[in-house]
Amino acid sequence: MESPIYRRILLKLSGEVLAGDQGFGIDPAQANYLAREVKSVYDLGVEIGLIIGAGNIFRGIQASSKGMDRVTGDYLGMMATVMNAITVQDALEKMDCPTRTLTAISITQIAENYIRRRALRHIEKGRIVIVAGGTGNPFFSTDMAAALRANELSAEIVLKGTKVDGVYDKDPEKFPDAIQYNTVTFSEVLEKRLKVMDLTAITLCEENRLPIRIFNIKIPGNLKKVVCGHKLGTTVTE
């Protein structure tokens, strides 16, 4: 059995991964797939914090561009992250993975309020902690929430699981000659405006020397390989 090179990780998943082939909403089969991937790492003894976006349900910034108040749209997006979190929690618990969902917006019937010390205590007790509701504030993305919670929870790295293989010099879906980076610095990401995470999140990770790894979560086994040190995807570091 391979050994993990990280003791504690913060896994950031895009909401689109939950949508499956339908492109929107929640596909239970995809939730089960993600749960299996996370369990494969949990079984190695890795401590896991998990944040899921809401792009499969609602994007506040897109609603804002169509006339909705930006603050209202962002709060709707936060609520959508709670739906995704509870879905993945249900799938994980059916696989005998103890899981807690903590949310930055209060929905006490289905999730605990996010308190840093409480989240740390759950992790120390061997539970997977899913953090929902973004930062609890409008104008901040789930990328920013991932960077913030990773620092708060003393994660060693932010692993961003997406539908692409890593970071490219241009959009690989539009340009077949796009070149993938194996490693890129925070400064290069900011200077070249590379599509890694939003700039506020990148800056926070840079200031706290927290590396980021972007990889394709849709390929079975990739998460475990990354946690065990395989050179997959793109690493953003100092």
Task: Look at residue 45 in the predicted model and tell me its pLDDT.
Answer: 96
pLDDT cut 90: percent of the chain above it? 69
Query: pLDDT tens-digit profile of 193-217?
Result: 888 888 999 999 999 999 999 999 9
Contact 12, 51 (CB under 8 A): yes
Task: Look at residue 195 in the predicted model and tell me its pLDDT.
Answer: 80
How far apart CA 14 and CA 84 sit, in angstroms, is 10
Which two structure tokens, joined as six digits, stand for 72? 């209202």
Query: Domain coordinates of the chain in residue numbers?
Result: 8-237
- pTM of the entire predicted model: 0.92
Write down the CATH superfamily of domain 8-237. Answer: Acetylglutamate kinase-like (3.40.1160.10)
Q: How confident is the prediction for the chain on average, in pLDDT?
A: 92
Which is nearest to 142 in space by CA: 49, 211, 217, 233?
A: 49
